[in-house]
Amino acid sequence: MITEFSKAQNQIKSGQATVKSRVEYFLKRIEEFDGELNSFITITGEEALKKAEQMDTLFSEKGEEVFEKMPLFGLVFSAKDMYLTEGVKTTAGSKLLSDFVPPYSSTVISRLTEAGAILIGKTNQDAWAHGSSGENSDFGVTKNPWDKSRVPGGSSSGAAVSVAAGFCDFAMGTDTGGSVRLPASFTNVVGLKPTYGAISRYGVIAMASSLDTMGNFAISSSDSKKIFDIVKGQDGFDQTVLDVNGAAPKTKYTIGVPKQYFSEGMDPSVERLVLDAIEKISQMGHKVVEVELPSTDYAISAYYVICPAEVSSNLGRYDGVRMGLNRDAFGDEAKRRIMLGTYVLESGYVDAYYNKAVAVRDLIKSEFEQAFSKVDLMLAPVSPTLPFKLGEKSNDPLSMYLADVYTVAINIAGVCALSVPCGFSDDLPVGLQIIGPSFGEQMVFDLAQSYQEATDWHTKSPKL
Ligand code: GLN
């Protein structure tokens, strides 16, 4: 399959483009269109151009062997402002860290750079990755390139937009409860939420440590796989990471459709497109069966106890003494989560709330395991709605939390999932969620790739 990555690299190989000309092209687009979309917090143009020149020299000296040694040679990427980048400001979308310049880079960034990818900038996000819309940033809202009166989804809002708007080849985001899949689905790109423990969290600002995963955005699932294969695996700094080779791709899959993921309150046009995609996949020769995930209804409640509990502990370090500016710089949502988290952990309440949520987590985990003992993969919607209007939910935290109704259980269970474009309603994109078991990424990528080969949704891009 000709992917965006191979197209770009073929241009460099054939002399149609240089690494520098590609970086210049992206910088020009960013300058022209990002004023309104606001997907970047920091642009690292100068460093990117310098690096590109060095890479062009390397290519002229060594020839095509550079592509073997560096599989991402000449590709340009952005990273959510949660990823520490040595010498480059890293804010987590909060003014509390507005002048924080990290002394080292996260493992993910180092591995991508070593593989030949060039960082073009750091992307906008909901502060501390708390949010589903991209509106909760101290650096202004990010807009959806498909309709600038709508949200691009969050919290990795800028990362998704940077790929959808053609500002770079791929982007890194983080997914703790849906923050890669939701914006991917709202902007018509592929978004991976990897298995918990597949990729090191070293050097990434922690949100909820038992749920945080390092996801990516690309146009095609084979490109997403390439990124995943480079960044995954142990680095000696994150003890949750395992070097596991999960199930290998098959020619035909048994695929479960969880009944509880088609619930009341879902936009009928989203439901139609997701059901059409499932029908298409069944026509491709895979066996589709119904499965049960009975505790789905409790996932949001469990998530919004476990997540704030861990947030309250992780944000404790930004006390203005050890780290960060004044504590007052925390926004409302961070304060809400610190208070909620502290409350559910308080002695006297810990059994009623936190320990209950942990029990629900075990239940959800075992239901996923049971389902995956019968099927290879599962298919579901990513979001119950189309991209919503800017401001529509920003004063109603509860309705914002419900945007994650189909994504959080995957984080709770620790398994992997990919959002893949599956159509449009009212010119707004919709994503299909392909869910795999722990370390089942290769099967997920494989099915997504054959679905993309059979459809052309991902080839459509917004008019800016
Ligand atoms: N929207 C969810 C939240 O606000 C998920 C965030 C995330 O995945 N970082 O917690």
Architecture of the 4-296+359-459 domain? Alpha-Beta Complex (3.90)
Question: What is the rounded distance in angstroms from the CA atom of residue 87 to the CA atom of residue 101?
Answer: 6
φ/ψ of 29, rounded to 5, equals: -60, -45
Catalytic residue among 20, 39, 51, 80: 80
The pLDDT of 364-374, averaged and rounded, is: 98
- Contacts of residue 295, defined as CB under 8 A and 6 or more positions apart, other chains included, come to 360, 363, 364, 367, 409
Question: What is the rounded distance in angstroms from the CA atom of residue 138 to the CA atom of residue 331?
Answer: 8
Question: Which pLDDT value is given to residue 193?
Answer: 98
Question: Which pLDDT value is given to residue 196?
Answer: 98
Nearest CA to ligand 1 atom 5: 177
Q: Is the pLDDT of residue 322 over 80?
A: no
Q: What 8-state DSSP symbol labels residue 97?
A: G
Does the beta carbon of 307 sit less than 6 angstroms from any atom of ligand 1? yes
Break the chain into its structural domains and give their ranges.
4-296+359-459, 297-358
Helix H or strand E encompassing 377: strand 377-381
Question: Which pLDDT value is given to residue 68?
Answer: 97
Q: What 8-state DSSP symbol labels residue 389?
A: B
The pLDDT of 311-336, averaged and rounded, is: 88
Describe the crossing of helices 441-454 and 221-231 by its angle, rounded to 10 degrees.
Answer: 160
More reliable by pLDDT, 264 or 14: 14
Q: Is the pTM for the entire model greater than 0.95?
A: yes
Question: Which pLDDT value is given to residue 167?
Answer: 98
Query: Tokens 């290519």 correspond to what residue?
Result: 59
pLDDT tens-digit map of 25-39: 999 999 999 999 999
Mutating to test ligand 1, I would choose from 83, 123, 135, 155 the residue with most ligand atoms within 8 A of its C-beta, which is 155
Bridge-based pairing of strands 76-80 and 170-175 is: parallel
Bridge-based pairing of strands 40-43 and 416-425 is: unpaired
Query: Tokens 């197209």 correspond to what residue?
Result: 7
Question: What is the rounded distance in angstroms from the CA atom of residue 237 to the CA atom of residue 255?
Answer: 36
Q: Which atom of ligand 1 lies at the shortest distance from residue 132's CA?
A: 1
The pLDDT confidence band at residue 398, using thresholds 50, 70 and 90, is: confident
CA of 151 from ligand 1 middle (Å) equals: 15
Active site residue 95: no
Q: Is the pLDDT of residue 319 over 90?
A: no
Q: What is the 3-state composition of the chain as percent helix, strand, coil, each rounded to the nearest 5? A: 45, 15, 40
Q: What 8-state DSSP symbol labels residue 85?
A: B
The pLDDT confidence band at residue 2, using thresholds 50, 70 and 90, is: confident
- In this structure, the number of other CB atoms found within 10 A of the CB of residue 239 comes to 9
**What distance lies between CA 36 and its chain's CA centroid?**
22
The pLDDT of 224-250, averaged and rounded, is: 97
Does the beta carbon of 176 sit less than 6 angstroms from any atom of ligand 1? yes
The pLDDT confidence band at residue 77, using thresholds 50, 70 and 90, is: very high
Nearest CA to ligand 1 atom 10: 130
Does the beta carbon of 207 sit less than 6 angstroms from any atom of ligand 1? yes
Does the beta carbon of 129 sit less than 6 angstroms from any atom of ligand 1? yes
Give the residue among 167, 172, 242 at the shortest CA–CA distance from 205.
Answer: 172
Does the beta carbon of 130 sit less than 6 angstroms from any atom of ligand 1? yes
pLDDT tens-digit map of 326-352: 778 899 999 999 999 999 999 999 999
pLDDT tens-digit map of 169-211: 999 999 999 999 999 999 999 999 999 999 999 999 999 999 9
Q: What 8-state DSSP symbol labels residue 150?
A: B
The pLDDT of 138-155, averaged and rounded, is: 98
pLDDT tens-digit map of 375-384: 999 999 999 9
Active site residue 80: yes
Active site residue 419: no
Q: Which atom of ligand 1 lies at the shortest distance from residue 208's CA?
A: 9
For 231: left if phi > 0, alpha if psi spans -120 to 50, otherwise beta; the answer is: alpha
